[in-house]
Amino acid sequence: MHGAINGVLERFWENLRVSGEWTGRFNEIVALLIFIAIILIAARLSSLLVLFSVQRIIKKTRTTWDDKLMESRFFIRLSRIIPALIAYALIPDFLTPGGVDGFVRRLIVAYMAGMSAHICAAFLDGVNMIYRSDAEEIAKRKPIKSYIQLAKVFLYIIGGILVVTTAANVSPLGILSGVGAMSAVLMLVFKDSILGFVSSMQLSGNDMVRIGDWIEMPAYNADGDVIDITLQSVKVQNWDKTITTIPIYALVSDSFKNWRGMSESGGRRIKRSIFIDMRSVRFLAAEEIMWLSTLPPLAEYMKNKLAEITEYNKSLNIPEDDYVSGRHLTNLGTYRAYTEAYLKSSPHAAKNMTNMARYLQPNENGLQMEIYLFSADKAWVNYERIQADIIDHLLAILPEFGLKVFQNPSGGDLQMIAENLGVAAASRL
């Protein structure tokens, strides 16, 4: 023992007229306990200093970067160096030279090395927060979180090596020289991190995925917004609010759909089909033509089309009642014209974007008429409502043109057929 504590304890035993070999050992224990108590008190005071003083100063500043550093716990971790510095300075006054003082010194230095890596990691987290806050649009296109995580991995590796070598009192060069021999093992251990780093560079360089993008990846049951991009994974919040985690290298090696183009365009596509029973297709009667000509969406079309058909038939001397040789209006063609006019007049349709109704290849389900347009409102709920209103109207107006929707027989249809057959059989008896 030496220093201030040595003198105080020796005078204490002299006043009590106590001497002996055990007093020296007891002094060491008492000094060590006082030493630990001072460290704990210093740790508590430094935490309180950060929580009350530093935090109050940060709230009064106009800048936001210090708030982000506080949020990343940078200042809290920085305050944990203070007790270590105090402890290192007090070692000569509390610990016996040539005893445990050397080991305690190494432990304190090792702690400071590990804590320094921890502080740097918090600072990098703060930098990422500042970047995402001050450059939000750029951060969505070019996130740096994966690079931050890679830098933190190296920091913790170096910090871990320094902690072990300092505490064991060996040179770090000995461990570093063995890293070359363990490179194969390290490649295996950090395989996902290496793949993730390379993949994140490709994603960022090619601008394939941003935070906030709506992506769809059926292989991983992912369909929703990207909420986070890390060194190893991409988190997607699905529409049912579940979270799907996708390995970041899967976005490079596998196929996925990014809806960003739709979000940035002037509209969201509506593509739905109505199946028409082809047996209901026929020519329009004269009274039907007169009635349909009074409908505002068809007035211009009917006028121009009737003039075109009349001129064509007259040029070939085809009688008006000749439905084989001449041209005549059909209920199907008129319905398609009405559909196109209705879609173009819709206030919800995106202007200067494709807007049409077309026929697809007929099949066993009838003639498929496809509705193809873009909704100006891209919000999901509004988009679905607009789409439903359009289909509701087109289905409801279909019988007015003498057309029928094709539908496979249901249980009710079969029951009605059976009842009709029963009635017919009973009438014969």
pLDDT tens string 382-415 = 999 999 999 999 999 999 999 999 988 777 767 7
Read off the pLDDT band of 212 (50, 70, 90).
Answer: confident
**Are the C-beta atoms of residues 383 and 282 closer than 8 Å to each other?**
no
Element spanning 8, H or E: helix 3-15
Q: Which of 346, 349, 338, 340 is nearest to 399 (CA)?
A: 338
Q: What is the rounded average pLDDT of the residues 290-303?
A: 91
Q: Is the pLDDT of residue 66 over 70?
A: yes
Report the predicted TM-score, pTM, of the whole model to 2 decimal places.
Answer: 0.53
pLDDT in tens, 118-174: 888 888 888 888 888 877 777 777 777 777 877 887 888 888 888 888 887 777 766
Per DSSP, helices labelled H in 135-219 are 136-141, 145-168, 172-179, 183-189, 191-205
CA dihedral 413→418→424→428, nearest 10 degrees, is 170
User: In this predicted structure, what is the pLDDT of residue 291?
Assistant: 92
User: In this predicted structure, what is the pLDDT of residue 126?
Assistant: 86
Q: In what order do the strands lie in the sheet with 356-359?
A: 268-276, 367-375, 356-359
How many secondary structure helices (H) and strands (E) does the chain include? Answer: 19, 8
pLDDT in tens, 229-255: 887 789 999 988 899 999 888 888 888
Q: Does 3.50.50.60 match the CATH number of domain 180-264?
A: no
Provide the 3-class DSSP secondary structure of residue 405: strand
CA dihedral 184→190→194→197, nearest 10 degrees, is -160
**Are the C-beta atoms of residues 387 and 272 closer than 8 Å to each other?**
yes
Q: Is the pLDDT of residue 332 over 90?
A: yes
Domain with CATH 2.30.30.60 in the chain: 180-264
Q: Is the pLDDT of residue 11 over 60?
A: no
**Are the C-beta atoms of residues 58 and 51 closer than 8 Å to each other?**
no
Residue predicted with more confidence, 382 or 55: 382
421: Cβ contacts below 8 Å, ≥ 6 apart: none
Residue 226 vs residues 214, 223, 241, 258: alpha-carbon distances, Å: 6, 9, 12, 10
pLDDT in tens, 256-274: 888 888 777 778 889 999 9
Residue predicted with more confidence, 145 or 295: 295
Q: What is the rounded average pLDDT of the residues 279-290?
A: 92
Read off the pLDDT band of 2 (50, 70, 90).
Answer: very low
CA 48, 66, 230 angle in degrees (round to 5)? 105
Q: Is the pLDDT of residue 371 over 90?
A: yes
- How far apart are alpha carbons 296 and 316 in whole angstroms? 31
